[in-house]
Amino acid sequence: MRLTYLLKRLAVMIPVFFFVVTLVFFMIRFAPGGPFSSEKSVSPAILKNLEMKYHMDEPLVRQYLRYLKDLLKGDLGPSFKHANRTVNEIIAEALPVSVELGLLALMWALVIGITSGGLAALKPNSPFDYIPMTFSLLGICFPTFVVGPILVLIFGVWLEWLPVAGWDTWADRVLPSLTLGFAYAAYISRLTRGGLMEMRVQDFIRTARAKGLTETQILTQHALKGGLLPVISYLGPALAGIITGALVTETIFNIPGLGRFFIESAVNRDYTVVMGTALLYFSLIFICNLLVDIVYALLDPRVKYV
């Protein structure tokens, strides 16, 4: 892993980011309607004042340049709909919630996925293999917005074990994070099994077996490192998927995260919040992909980045 590679990746990011800012900015602005168009009984004078306050009366290009300038300073501007709040404040409040949700989901996905995939590989063609593999097939075909409500129905409504909405206690976090992680647990389970099965026929595993190590030792000490490579490279897409999947999960469970602000502000035409949250999403996904690449290169010496 060379530093120049990292710098190169970051350098590519800058024009792409700029491109995204421009695209989203003009996409929103050229669309019909505006943040104040749904406001009832606003006199023209007030509307004019509002527009002046937010610099909406200036030519579009001026507004765009102003936005860029503020963006460079890290200022995402005031919200159009949430009075007296800036986009930075909204993000500061919502981002930790979404990050927590995402990390918990990822944890579920990894723990459930690797354990069940490992068990399946340890005892192939046994119930340990069939049951998780059947489940993982289900996981791939049942989207978040079906799994979530079903979990709510079973554990929230019928059994009344867990709360069905909110984000205050630890119990509130169980169902949303499970919902979000479920599909990825399923896929990771399959990848783990596949990767480990491939390792089983390698020479170094045969050597380990000849040395008299038990199957469990072989698995944990030798096969797992190589067998998990497909899982690592899947983490990039998985993280991106978890971030987008959170949009729906946050809606289902009424969680005050970024996704809800994004959707809500998109519908309300709260220009600055849409821009701010969308840009944050783009940056998050970019950073996640970069981190995954770094981890992959650290684990697999065969990978060379130039």
Q: Does 127 bind another protein (CB under 8 A)?
A: no
- 259/261 Cα distance (integer angstroms): 5
* Rounded Cα gap, residues 234 and 225, in angstroms: 15
Residues 176-195 interacting with another protein (rule: CB under 8 A): 194
- Report, in angstroms and rounded to the nearest whole number, the Rg of the chain calculated over CA atoms: 24
Tell me the three state secondary structure of residue 55. Answer: coil
Q: Would you count residue 212 as binding another protein (CB under 8 A)?
A: no
- The upper half-sphere exposure of residue 134, i.e. CA atoms within 13 Å in the direction of its Cβ, equals 7
Query: CB–CB of 49/300 below 8 Å?
Result: no
Q: Any idea which residue has 């949700």 for tokens?
A: 101
Q: Decide: is 52 part of the binding site for another protein (CB under 8 A).
A: no
Query: Is the CB of 235 or the CB of 252 nearer to another protein?
Result: 252
Nearer to another protein, 101 or 208 (CB): 101
Alpha carbons 283 and 248: distance in angstroms, whole number? 20
DSSP-derived letter for residue 161 is -
Q: Which is nearer to another protein, 208 or 284 (CB)?
A: 284
Q: Is 266 in the site for another protein (CB under 8 A)?
A: yes
Binding mask 153-172 for another protein (x = CB under 8 A): x---x---------------
Phi-psi category of 295—alpha, beta or left, where left has phi over 0 and alpha has psi -120 to 50?
A: alpha
Q: Closest distance between another protein and the C-beta of residue 45, in Å?
A: 27
Supply the minimum distance, in Å, between the C-beta of residue 204 and another protein.
Answer: 22
Give yes or no for residue 16 binding another protein (CB under 8 A). Answer: yes
Task: Answer yes or no whether residue 274 interacts with another protein by CB under 8 A.
Answer: yes
Examine residue 248 and tell whether it contacts another protein (CB under 8 A): yes
Residue 285 sits in the site that holds another protein (CB under 8 A): yes
How many residues belong to the chain?
306
118 vs 259 by CB, closer to another protein: 259
How far apart CA 87 and CA 286 sit, in angstroms, is 21
Q: Which one of 72-80, 204-212, 224-232, 273-281 is the stretch in contact with another protein (CB under 8 A)?
A: 273-281
Phi, psi of 78 (to 5 degrees): -85, 155
Q: Could you tell me if 289 and 283 are in contact, meaning their C-beta atoms sit under 8 angstroms apart?
A: no
CA atoms lying within 13 Å on the CB side of residue 69 = 6
- 208 vs 253, beta carbon nearer another protein: 253
**Contact in structure between 270 and 79 (CB atoms under 8 Å):** yes
Out of 111, 267, 298, 303, point to the residue binding another protein (CB under 8 A): 267
Binding flag, residue 242, another protein (CB under 8 A): no
Give the footprint of another protein on this chain (CB under 8 A).
Answer: 12, 16, 20, 23-24, 27-28, 31-33, 137-138, 140-143, 145-146, 149-150, 152-153, 157, 194, 240, 243-244, 247-248, 251-252, 262-263, 266-267, 269, 274, 278, 281-282, 285-286, 289
